[in-house]
Amino acid sequence: MSFQLPPRRSVLFMPANRERALDKARELDADALIFDLEDAVAPNAKAQARTMACERVAAGGYGSREVLVRTNALGSPWFEDDLAALAQVPVHGVVIPKVDSAAQASSCVQRLRALGSTAPVWAMIESPAGVSAAGEIAATPGVAALVMGTNDLLKELNAVDTPDRRALWYALGKVVNAARANGLTVLDGVSPLIDDAAALRAVCEQGRIFGFDGKTLIHPRQIEPANAAFGPDPNAVATARRLVAAWAAAPADAGVIAVEGRMVEQLHVEQARALLAFAEAIEQR
């Protein structure tokens, strides 16, 4: 696992036109919040949702949680107004749905910069074209994260959604690889599972195995399973502390040492230090 900082184990989508939910989010244990102007908002509520999202971002009060906003799709009647409004508030990032090419990603970054915003773009990969171009999208300056849009991708693939998500394995691996090659955060797509914590935990653990940094969510009840799956294992943290201590106590010219029956070299120490930094960042939230 990459242990990206800041931690983004749980990233909760929230309808931007639900005032009570946006206020309640200040108490949730999510690492990041995405106020949604797209799928969760009806066409006749778009303007109200945009205004409310910007007001909440400007007001702050969300503590260490990152607060981002997802715009409506490129080419939609609301997209330009979304960008113009978000450029005026201190949002941690702008989430762009349905990014199919590096040219689209670059255009979004350039428009934000022209509007005076330095906010990074989180590009959602939701189509076969987006998956095919994932490497180029990830390499676009100003793009800081790739976010899987698995529901739309399944629809466009005409694929069947199974518990093991087998139809998505190629896309999941390709997008993770694209993100890792460019040093970006990469987030798994949402799951409809709300009441079945065990099944949701299994899906989160699968995402972790693929290499995702965290999971996008649609309900507060999904936060705890995501945090548990993508967070540091206490036993691994304890082992990392012992490994780092043993390395520090070793002779300066030691290239390899033995710790608890295994051979340890510099790369293992670097991984251990990254894990400890990740755990510390979570503790300090």
The Cα 28–Cα 24 span in angstroms is 7
pLDDT tens digits, one per residue of 211-251: 999 999 999 999 999 999 999 999 999 999 999 999 999 98
DSSP 245: H
Joined together, the tokens standing for residue 219 give 């309900």
Helices (H), the chain: 19-24, 46-59, 79-86, 102-114, 128-132, 134-138, 150-157, 169-181, 197-210, 223-230, 234-249, 266-283
Residues 171 and 262 in one domain: no
Q: What are phi and psi of 122, to 5 degrees?
A: -105, 115
Residues 222 and 243 in one domain: no
Whether 4 maps to a domain, the answer reads no
Residues 191 and 82 in one domain: yes
Average pLDDT taken over every residue of the chain: 95
Whether 1 maps to a domain, the answer reads no
Q: Kindly list the distances between the CA atom of residue 38 and the CA atoms of 133, 247, 268, in Å, as whole numbers in the listed order.
A: 23, 50, 43
Mean pLDDT over 123-152 rounds to 98
Number of domains comprising the chain: 2
State the residue for tokens 């299994």. Answer: 202
Q: What is the pTM of this model?
A: 0.93
pLDDT tens digits, one per residue of 49-87: 999 999 999 999 999 999 999 999 999 999 999 999 999
Residues 215 and 264 in one domain: no
Q: Is the pLDDT of residue 179 over 70?
A: yes
Residue 143, helix vs strand vs coil: strand
Its domain, for residue 120, covers 10-230
CB 212, CB 4: distance < 8 Å? no
Residues 84 and 97 in one domain: yes
Q: How would residue 104 be classed by pLDDT, with cut points 50, 70 and 90? A: very high
The helix-helix angle for 102-114 and 79-86 (nearest 10°) equals 50
Domain CATH for 150: 3.20.20.60
pLDDT tens digits, one per residue of 27-52: 999 999 999 999 999 999 999 999 99
CB 261, CB 41: distance < 8 Å? no
Residue 220: closest CA among 245, 194, 243, 252? 194
Mean pLDDT over 269-277 rounds to 94
Q: Is the pLDDT of residue 3 over 90?
A: no
Residues 99 and 160 in one domain: yes
The Cα 250–Cα 232 span in angstroms is 26
pLDDT tens digits, one per residue of 183-211: 999 999 999 999 888 999 999 999 999 99
Residue 87, helix vs strand vs coil: coil
Q: Which residue(s) pair with 214 in the sheet?
A: 187
Q: Which residues contact 279 (CB under 8 A, 6 or more apart)?
A: 232, 237
Q: How would residue 1 be classed by pLDDT, with cut points 50, 70 and 90? A: low
Residues 243 and 185 in one domain: no
Is it true that the peptide bond before 251 is cis, omega within 30 degrees of 0?
no
Over the range 198-231, which residues count as b (16 or more CB within 10 Å of their CB) and which as e? eebbbbbebbbebbbbbbbbbbbebbebbbebbb
CB 285, CB 64: distance < 8 Å? yes
